[in-house]
Chains A and B, each alone.
Chain A
Amino acid sequence: MKPTFLADLRAALPAHALLVEAEALRPYECDGLSAYRQVPLAVCLPETLEQAQAVLRACRAHRVPVVARGAGTGLSGGALPLADGVILSLARFDRIVAIDPDNRVARVQPGVRNLAISEAAAPYGLYYAPDPSSQIACSIGGNVAENSGGVHCLKYGLTVHNLLALKVLTLDGELLELGDCTRPGALDAPGYDLLALMTGSEGLLGIVVEVAVRLLVRPERAQVVLAAFDSVEAAGAAVAAVIGAGILPAGLEMMDNPAIRAAEDFVHAGYPVDAAAILLCELDGTNAEVSEQIMAVRAVLVEAGAREVRTAEDDAQRMKFWAGRKGAFPAVGRISPDYYCMDGTIPRRQLAFVLKRIAELSERYGLRVANVFHAGDGNLHPLILFDANRAGELEHAEAFGTDILKLCVEVGGTVTGEHGIGVEKLDASCSQFSPEELAQFHAIKAAFDPDGLLNPGKAVPTLHRCAELGRMHVHGGALPFPELPRF
């Protein structure tokens, strides 16, 4: 690190808010995607807006890249440090500024944990809806950067649908207000919807320093139905039948047999381990509404060929049903030395086809797969099981994963539903975008960050990278499965 840059950082921050020693930097070398590691030049932990602005100005003056970091739980390497860059941690921006129950709004700093918002709102009978599985640890700033989802997106939306306003710092330290973050509650703002554009931009367009989120009234009642099926096709058809019946579940999740077995061994949720697939369907609303919908859903599931339909008897059993699903990733972690989690989204009608193809690929690569699926919104998480200690197996798993993501694009879906591109899916995203589309993204980046120093190299692959891969633009050209319906 240049001594002049270090001097500027020291001037910007109190001594305890600047880490430069190798030992102190080590915990920051990766985020939730630990396969990629890199120690940064320095870690800055500003406590005030002024300190954050001073860090950014120093970085701009010395042309040093800045990688923003929340809780470091991201799954695509979005917060992976750069060797010649600093980490700007928002961990100390951890204050809940205000809860306004009449306007049903929370004003929070970006380092506040997702679940802490719902906890603070609970005394008012309110909560924050998006619930990524890491919600006890992940920060709201990171949720904004990744446009995080969760298991209730079909009914309650992603992060972008639950934000009201943001305060954002640009690289030159300018504070932008997208919506009114100080007196939040209005449902729209004048001008372009830059709030939507900023959400999910993976730290490439600006640094989020304050967030106003919408709170919802906690439903009077939530109830879960578990249905077991003898084939994944039947389970997939049941999902379509539930939606087709005009029911909008709060959550609709599917697990295949390997995932069911792993979860049952781990959590003892009471899952039927011999089922080919299970569906978990959560209904929420008023008491009367939930009672009526449970009856309707049970009828639809039986009609769709479920061999067993169980309604959670009480809240404890409901939590148990969910514990199995929410613990599916660590459960798979117990049956395999390593696993690689994919995050494609597909049109639901393609589910059976995609699972069949994944099974074929699994055989071809000689690697096992467990599938968990946000069935309500088509977001598929195949977990590829491998052993990193065996030579070449990580690369093998990655190649398998890339094939799965290409498949998702080919059937009309996307390479990432909620985890982001980060560094992990840069190559895979080449198959989703044309050169013109990528160039457009880079132009947008330049509009926000003309110096190109905010998390450079993440989220949007360079044209050069995609051209080298020879994997550009599957969707507009000749497709490997011309028989598939798509639009």
Chain B
Amino acid sequence: MEDVLIGRVRQAIADGMPLRIRGGGSKAFYGRHCDGAALDLSAHRGVIAYDPAELVITARAGTPLAEIESLLADDGQMLPFEPPHFSSRATLGGMVAAGLSGPRRPWVGSVRDAVLGIKLLNGRGEVLRLGGQVMKNVAGYDLSRLMAGALGTLGVLLEVSLKVLPRPAEELTLAFELDAERAAARLRQWGRQPLPVSATLIHAGRLHLRLSGSAQGVRAARQMLGGEPSDAAIWQDVREHTLAFFQTPRPLWRISLPPAAPDLNLPGEQLSEWGGALRWLASDLAGEALRRRVTAAGGHATLFRHHDGRGEVFQPLAPPLFALHRRVKQALDPHGLFNPGRMYEGL
């Protein structure tokens, strides 16, 4: 299968024809529209190595995410960053390329933080092994973490090695009846205390909080915090966007901010995760106006769903930084083959 993929890339170089890399298609909505012949990775699958005592898993990029998660769960382990699937067909490679993390991210790190190494097919048709299968490795530039969130514009991921973690012995979801402002204030206060928090959600007049850790640690925190035990299914619903909030026809924005940034009072419906560092907004507000206000607060905004894929989906970059992006792209994909324009026009 790897040879077939290498052959396709070499052919694309010869033909000067761009390629649209595709795993399970679960995140095809994410990013900008891009042209090109489909390069399907879904048959390049299978776990190559997993030794629970090493806390490392290595698998081919087309391996279904569900398969990986179930394998880890059998040994009491997990992908710490709780990646969204958005479909049962989600793959490992797509997960890294999209770079999206779920509710646990602020406390245990992102997809990118967990990437230890990759096998990459670059735009010269060469197969490169970057990073490794060990926790600590500073040999060579860190090109493997660079692939996280690059939306496949820098190369074809063939294999990925990830750091995994043991599942917490105990988890408990609590709910508090609080309006958004008071909930945010509560999180700011708790954020300065040593509490075993592993997820937060402010939505519809409630603050939801998940505690993770040892049984006694969770129990002690529960006694201190109060609140009512509630359904843990909420985390899956918010992660997978199956919560009613996300069933909106309006443009859906993903807004990343410093966690203690005040409510920006943007028009539309809002939901807040990650202790305040991630806010979802369903709004008809024009992108430019929205981004001005988000930028002023130290954040950036992504037009996540319900758009035509032609405009600025991701926050525009300062000109010198964009010029550097183009040179980095050129260094890995000199013929501009992979997912042209998926992230930014001209990249």
Which residues of A line the B interface, CB within 8 A? 100-105, 124-126, 146-147, 149, 153-154, 157-158, 160-161, 170, 174, 176-178, 180, 182-194, 196-197, 199-201, 205, 217-220, 240-241, 243-244, 246-248, 285-289, 291-293, 345-349, 374, 376-379, 412-421, 425, 429, 432-434, 436-437, 440-441, 443-448, 460, 475-476, 487
Contact = CB atoms under 8 A, between A and B. Distances in A.
B53 A444 contact: no
Contacts of A348: 53-54
26 contacts: A124-B192, A146-B138, A147-B142, A186-B258, A187-B110, A188-B300, A190-B315, A191-B314, A193-B99, A196-B148, A217-B192, A240-B53, A247-B166, A285-B217, A288-B214, A347-B51, A347-B56, A348-B54, A374-B136, A376-B135, A412-B132, A414-B138, A416-B137, A433-B139, A440-B126, A444-B331
Contacts of A291: 216
Nearest to A147: B138
A147 B132 CA distance: 15
A187 B53 contact: no
Contacts of A448: 324, 327
B324 A188 contact: no
Given A186-B300, A187-B105, A377-B134, A197 B142 contact: yes
Given A248-B166, A437-B128, A444-B331, A188 B110 contact: yes
Nearest to B258: A185
Given A288-B220, A419-B138, A440-B332, A246 B317 contact: no
A186 B145 contact: no
A230 B249 CA distance: 66
A436 B143 CA distance: 14
A197 B317 contact: no
Interface stretch (B193-201, B264-272, B281-289): B193-201
Given A187-B106, A417-B138, A243 B53 contact: yes
A379 B122 CA distance: 29
Interface string B49-75: 101111110100000000000000000
A190 B254 CA distance: 11
Nearest to B132: A414
A345 B135 contact: yes
B146 A193 contact: yes
A444 B141 contact: yes
B321 A176 contact: yes
Contacts of A180: 295, 298-299
A378 B324 contact: no
A376 B134 CA distance: 11
A50 to B, nearest CB: 17
B53 to A, nearest CB: 4
> Most chain-B CB neighbours within 10 Å: which of A124, A413, A440?
A440
Contacts of B135: 153-154, 345, 376-379
A448 to B, nearest CB: 7
B13 interface: no
A243 B136 CA distance: 17
A434 B213 contact: no
Nearest to B106: A187
Nearest to B320: A174
Interface residues of B, number: 93
A447 B332 CA distance: 10
Contacts of A205: 141
A414 B277 CA distance: 35
Nearest to A202: B138
Interface in B123-154: 124, 126-130, 132-143, 145-146, 148-150, 154
B112 A196 contact: yes
A448 B324 CA distance: 7
Contacts of B237: none
Which of A186, A244, A418 has the most CB atoms of chain B within a 10 A radius of its CB? A186
B217 A289 contact: yes
Given A190-B300, A289-B196, A437-B128, A183 B258 contact: yes
A124 to B, nearest CB: 7
Nearest to B154: A192
A248 B53 contact: no
Nearest to A246: B166
Contacts of B298: 180, 182-186
B55 A436 contact: no
A205 B331 CA distance: 14
Contact of A414 (B56, B137, B343): B137
B167 interface: yes
B165 A248 contact: yes
Given A103-B259, A219-B194, A347 B54 contact: yes
A109 B266 CA distance: 34
- Which of B55, B139, B298 has the most C-beta atoms of chain A within 10 angstroms of its own C-beta? B139
Task: Name the 7 nearest CB pairs between A and B, nearest first.
Answer: A185-B258, A183-B298, A289-B217, A377-B135, A102-B260, A417-B136, A246-B166
Interface in B75-115: 76, 99, 105-106, 109-110, 112-113
B261 interface: yes
Given A193-B150, A286-B221, A434-B128, A105 B139 contact: no
Interface in B200-238: 213-217, 219-221
B278 interface: yes
B17 interface: no
B274 interface: yes
Contacts of B38: none
B19 interface: no
Nearest to B300: A190
B42 interface: no
A193 B76 contact: no
B169 interface: yes
B161 to A, nearest CB: 8
Contacts of B325: 191-192, 194
Interface string B317-344: 1101110110110111000000000011
Residue picked from A241, A285, A374, A447, most chain B C-beta under 10 Å:
A447
Contacts of B343: 191
B199 to A, nearest CB: 14
Given A105-B258, A191-B321, 4 more contacts: A183-B258, A192-B150, A446-B327, A448-B324
Given A194-B146, A285-B196, A421-B139, A157 B216 contact: no
B43 interface: no
A26 B324 CA distance: 37
Contacts of B193: 125, 217
Contacts of A160: 113, 142, 145
Contacts of A487: 48-49, 58, 133
B167 A246 contact: yes
A415 B110 contact: no
Contacts of B112: 193, 196
